[in-house]
Chains A and B, each alone.
Chain A
Amino acid sequence: MGGYIGKPIPRVEDLRFVTGRGRYTDDIKVANACFACFARAPYAHALIHRIDVSAAAVAPGVIAVLTVDDYLADGHKGMSHVPVPADAVDAKLPAFKATPETPIFDAPHLPMVRDKVRHVGEAVAMILAETYAQARDAADLVVVDYEPLPAVVVTLDAMAEGAPQIWDGAPGNICFDQSFGDKDATDKAFEGAHLVLERTFVNSRIINCQMEPRSAIGVYDAKEDVYHLIAGSQGAVRQRVELAQSLGVPIDRTQVVCPDTGGGFGPRTTLYAEQLAVTWAAKRVGRPVKWTSDRSEAFLTDYQGRGMTTRAAMAFDKKGRILGMKTEVYGNIGGHTVSFVPVSNNYRVTTTTYAVPAATVRAVGVLTNTTPTAPFRGAGRPEAHYVIERLLDTAAKTLKIDRIEIRRRNLIPKSALPYRNALGLTYDSGDFHGNMKKSLERADWDGFPVRREASEAQGKLRGIAVANYVESPVGAPRERIVINVRMDGTVEIMAGTQSTGQGHETTFAQVVADHLSVDMKTIRLVTGDTRIISVGGGTHSDRSMRLGGTLLVEACADIVAQARVLAARAFERPESEIVFEDGMFTHPSTNRAYSIFEAAALDTQAMLTSAKEFSGRMPAYPTGCAVCELEIDPDTGVTQIVRYTSIDDVGQPINPLIVDGQVHGGIAQGVGQALMEDFQVDPATGQVLGGSFMDYGVPRADHFPHFDIDFTEDPTAGNPLRVKGGGESGITPATAVIINAVVDALSPYGIEHIDLPATPMKIWKTIDEARKAQKTPKANAAPTVEAA
């Protein structure tokens, strides 16, 4: 027994998934259910004068057509998403504090529009019918009298004088505007600078694209007066809190069940309008109500990622050492205040792995007529890395310093740990220099010139780049684990957090199996059901194994201690003399032995149980280094990533097979944002220009090479499993390293920057313009292309 931690064990949950027995929300049939479809606003910004549901109400199969007036008449409220997270350092404090000088705007989010549409796709009416097709047919019959208003969708435009105002309580469309860091020290650092680079970086808007379209089933239990919601999400506990608050009922009159969830990535943490609406409507019509999003709705209504604009200035001395950094970060919040997390995460890691002596950040949340944003994998951290790594490559070129060398001169040395960065995070561990060295060697950085020549011989441009990263795991600062060991030989783990594909049924079992010295097969994980789980933060921000794993270890220790007491009593010996080894409790004086299950049988309840809870911050800093090498066809602008290397310090990988997968997936999403994904809306009207997989570039299998990744560890003492986190490792440096590699490939044309995403069209145009501006390419010239 034992030895599970660290092994690449295939996942125990997979049998049901590979045989089609996964159970997602839409797979669940509830007796007597009716089906919901939402009539949605076609404008980004409009007043609603009248909603005429009369034709829809008499359409075939229609049971009811409901609007927000019905919802409000039932005494319910808008959702409060609590957009300001707990501070990254002191979880008792909010990340953004409201003061008279720095107010914070947060408005309740009604499940349907009352008087004013604030983004395309907002629901204006809910049609309930016997079949989904009937509900959908009837939705087309809802007639709404809209008065379109001028819309604003671009972050900085929304702050401009005279911009359309989206909410009454938010003058200038500002949700918050706060500054951090040591201004005097930073100003002083800039005064003595040899070089100051100033650049603006726009981090494009990303659609979550989890493969399972959102789905929700509302059931009202009239006998018990309890609202039930069945819906996939990243955490049933938080959904329940928001649900109860919106319905205006005590929390115990709501229950949330989260079955298998087809991808999370951040935006499925907070409650959605449709989840609230079906739960309410179930009581109103006295039948269970089911709704499943189609993909077009997902493009309009799933909370979106990124959408951050950064104005950055960086001061260097002659040798390329960073003296100071100033950023202004503008988060595009969208039309409702769902989450300010990306901005709060971003500002804390502004300086990433580099020793930046002084830095300031102005962090601003800006309302626009777009779908609300929420954390998307990395949530502010990839954006920060993109900024600093782009600036470092630009500075290297300007100062004629090698790109590796300028990083070496600025990386935080191991000797400086623990290192408090200029925005207040204290890195406890991480071999930043070592990570880069390993990554460069693995990627054969030194062999690149030969490979570039080979590409040139084929008429291709080849580029390479490196990016270092550090993550700042934060997330919901509360978690709970209960473990029951029963005399029948089974172990039950009840966890507040839950998986959206990370394999907790396997990894949590690995941890417990080792700590109780039992067979993994005896262990069952229960999550995602508030009838059983009362506390827990859900899956995000690399928090599940960090917080949950720590509590697993504590609960196991507690159970072993309880078993020891029982064994001591049975042996009639002092506890201190009882040995627990190889899964057995023994005493030298006897050949009797008890397993943990036999010890449980000695308990009056025939069960050993332990509940452990944690509140606060448990910091850990995943770190690493990525190298990307790519080829561009100058005739088509198409980029092909040919090598992608990553060294990741995730701490101790509980299951390397799973962590590998997490890194791969993160890289892939980063590639998506770097090269193809961009949610386009018409800047003049807010109309959505790419609302399906037909016109939004989500990456496919043929966009990737195999990834070459390896783990390293500079141990953290911050938690007993030495877990740092792997879920966001892949994505954090990805956009930075890919765009730097694209710019490197395009450098023969004198091209110094290209915005995310570097699509073939954008690359082709950039090359074309550069060719026109510069008749003859410089040295290290681009090849003249001949037919292959």
Chain B
Amino acid sequence: MPIKVEITVNGAPTSAEVEPRTLLVHYLREYLGLTGTHVGCDTTQCGACVVHADGRSIKSCTALAAQMNGAKITTIEGLAATHPDAEGLHPLQAAFRDCHGLQCGFCTPGMIMSGSALLLENADPTDHEIRDWLEGNICRCTGYHNIVRAVKAAASAMREPKDPRPQETAA
């Protein structure tokens, strides 16, 4: 029996009749065509599907669309609008590019959504805090080195928006 859900996604109201078992990630991808949120596993391990729900990062493969009725969801497509830099990117998006924090790009939306949620809670995270926070996001390409560098660089850029250069992290 389909049920109706109403979810605000990237600032816009959306609604659909969905099967009760529809996951939030499938709602975003299949109903709204927001394919930036990826499915990388089926055990809530990889984090490719991370979005923000009411300001906190969640794995959208482990939330039913029905559970999210009434929630405000931000996806990778809507992240920049929450904190645009001069280029119209979120500083963490720009930092991922500038620090080469991605290769194949598949884990990247989840990494950025997860990392940006960290920066909402902690404006100046240490390497250790970043690595600890990102433990639930798997990347097979980068070895995480440049991802950590990107989060540091974005944190710095968001604290001091005038100096967006990537900063080296201590070994």
Residue of B nearest to A660 (CB): B100
* Complex Cα gap A391–B130 (Å): 38
Q: A20 contacts B37, CB within 8 Å?
A: yes
**Which chain A positions have C-beta within 8 A of B119?**
none
A33 to chain B, nearest CB (A): 12
Q: How many A residues are at the interface, by size bracket?
A: 35 or more
Instruction: Give the top 10 A-B pairs by smallest Cβ distance, nearest first.
Output: A20-B36, A262-B106, A501-B104, A17-B105, A668-B143, A501-B103, A693-B45, A20-B76, A664-B143, A27-B35
* Complex Cα gap A19–B97 (Å): 11
Interface segment among A178-186, A431-439, A451-459, A695-703: the answer is A695-703
Interface segment among A210-218, A512-520, A778-786: the answer is A210-218
Q: B80 contacts A19, CB within 8 Å?
A: yes
Q: A665 contacts B143, CB within 8 Å?
A: yes
A462 to chain B, nearest CB (A): 17
Contact residue among A265, A694, A705 (Cβ-Cβ distance under 8 Å from B140): A265
Given the known inter-chain contacts A700-B138, A706-B148, A707-B143, please indicate yes or no for A211 contacting B130, CB distance below 8 A: no
Given contacts A17-B108, A702-B131, list 14 more A-B pairs with CB under 8 A.
Answer: A10-B98, A14-B105, A16-B105, A18-B89, A22-B36, A22-B108, A209-B138, A213-B40, A213-B41, A294-B41, A500-B104, A664-B144, A666-B143, A707-B145
**Which chain B positions have C-beta within 8 A of A668?**
142-144
A312 to chain B, nearest CB (A): 29
B82 to chain A, nearest CB (A): 13
Contact residue among A29, A292, A698, A702 (Cβ-Cβ distance under 8 Å from B132): A702
A72 close to B (CB within 8 Å): no
B131 to chain A, nearest CB (A): 4
Contact residue among A8, A213, A264, A706 (Cβ-Cβ distance under 8 Å from B169): A706
B92 to chain A, nearest CB (A): 8
Interface centre among B36, B100, B107 (most CB of A within 10 A): B100
Q: How many B residues are at the interface, by size bracket?
A: 35 or more
* Complex Cα gap A379–B61 (Å): 34
Within 8 A of A (CB), among B55-80: 75-77, 80
* Complex Cα gap A255–B116 (Å): 40
* Complex Cα gap A435–B75 (Å): 46
Specify the main secondary structure of chain B where it touches its partner. loop
Given the known inter-chain contacts A20-B77, A704-B131, please indicate yes or no for A294 contacting B97, CB distance below 8 A: no
Q: B102 contacts A17, CB within 8 Å?
A: yes
B31 to chain A, nearest CB (A): 12
Q: How many A-B residue pairs have CB under 8 A?
A: 189
Binding site for B on A (CB under 8 A): 8, 10-11, 13-24, 26-27, 29, 133, 209-213, 260-265, 292, 294-296, 500-503, 643, 657-658, 660-662, 664-669, 692-694, 698, 700-702, 704-708, 730
* Complex Cα gap A704–B48 (Å): 20
B126 to chain A, nearest CB (A): 12
B118 to chain A, nearest CB (A): 11
* Complex Cα gap A18–B150 (Å): 12
Contact residue among B19, B35, B37, B141 (Cβ-Cβ distance under 8 Å from A501): B141
Contact residue among B34, B106, B127, B169 (Cβ-Cβ distance under 8 Å from A24): B106
B104 to chain A, nearest CB (A): 3
**Which chain B positions have C-beta within 8 A of A209?**
138, 140
**Which chain A positions have C-beta within 8 A of B140?**
209-211, 263, 265, 665, 669, 698
**Which chain B positions have C-beta within 8 A of A700?**
134-138, 144
Q: A14 contacts B102, CB within 8 Å?
A: yes
Residue of A nearest to B133 (CB): A701
Q: B143 contacts A692, CB within 8 Å?
A: no
